[in-house]
Amino acid sequence: MFTFLLAVAIFLGGVFIFRQIVVKGKECTSQVNLHGKTVIVTGSNTGIGKTTAIDLAKRGARVILACRSKQRGESALEEVKRVTGNNQVVFMQLDLGSLKSVRSFAETFLKTEPRLDILINNAGIYMQGKTQDGLGMMFGVNHIGHFLLTNLLLDRLKQCGPSRIVNLSSMAHNLGKIDFECLTTQKALGLGTSFKEVFQIYSDSKLCNVLFTHELAKRLQGTQVTCFSLHPGAINTELARNTGSVVQLVLSPVTAFFFKNAIQGCQTTLHCALQQGIEPLSGRYFSNCTVRDVYPKAKDDAVAKKLWELSENLSGLA
């Protein structure tokens, strides 16, 4: 009996340590005050985007909640204001699946807001389909929408330097690949609909985020704008809301135990946005508030440049 109880105690102790160290992870330690600074957080009506916005608003920033849904965005706006006591929080509608919407958002922002100090490209989607412009949904929303938005706002970021751009990727980028033939002919990273195929396309879109950041850093050399990509951790949020109900049911006990909550999940985002002294690491990839090495494919200069040029064409910048 004693041996059994000892084994149970050791198991529970291991579980506690695992959750505290591996699941919970590190916290952003920056105490930076953001009074007088303006931040955009895309997809900030829910999940880690909303908790990121709340933290930044608590620091005194003027926070722009850039969200697709007007109803959910305005609901999040009231919550962020109530929780933080900061009235310098604004909702602006942004549909990353529409290049017209991205351009409209940027035009309105540049006309009404004199500053931009931090751009956090947080929004992401996990589902197949096509955007309004005929792009693959995950390629269009997870990459092209943010690519266009960033480029349209770059001059303002440069004017307000030192400033930062934070691109949320995922460790899934390690499984990604860039099929330029499919991108050229189909304007999509892939065309499958099975679970394996959809996850592959999601991974491909996350590799696009890392390659975009790599190339962007090179183009920003000599400016006071730095950029970072990151893996926020496995997060128990609404990213998988577009998966089937069976998949969600199977995953729910796993995500409840092994995945971070939204507050834990936004810590690396905050680290990349706020931590002083990481400017020389511009273009690098972070996980658990720590800079990480990536596979050669995620820092391939030729592939990153080719993706940038294709993205310029598809977004109408070229």
d(CA 4, CA 159): 65
d(CA 42, CA 218): 24
The amino acid present at 160, given as its one-letter code, is C
Instruction: Tell me if residue 185 falls in helix, strand or coil.
Output: helix
d(CA 314, CA 184): 9
Just list the catalytic residues.
202
Q: Kindly give the pairing relationship between strand 290-292 and strand 285-287.
A: antiparallel
d(CA 59, CA 38): 11
The amino acid present at 196, given as its one-letter code, is K
d(CA 218, CA 179): 23
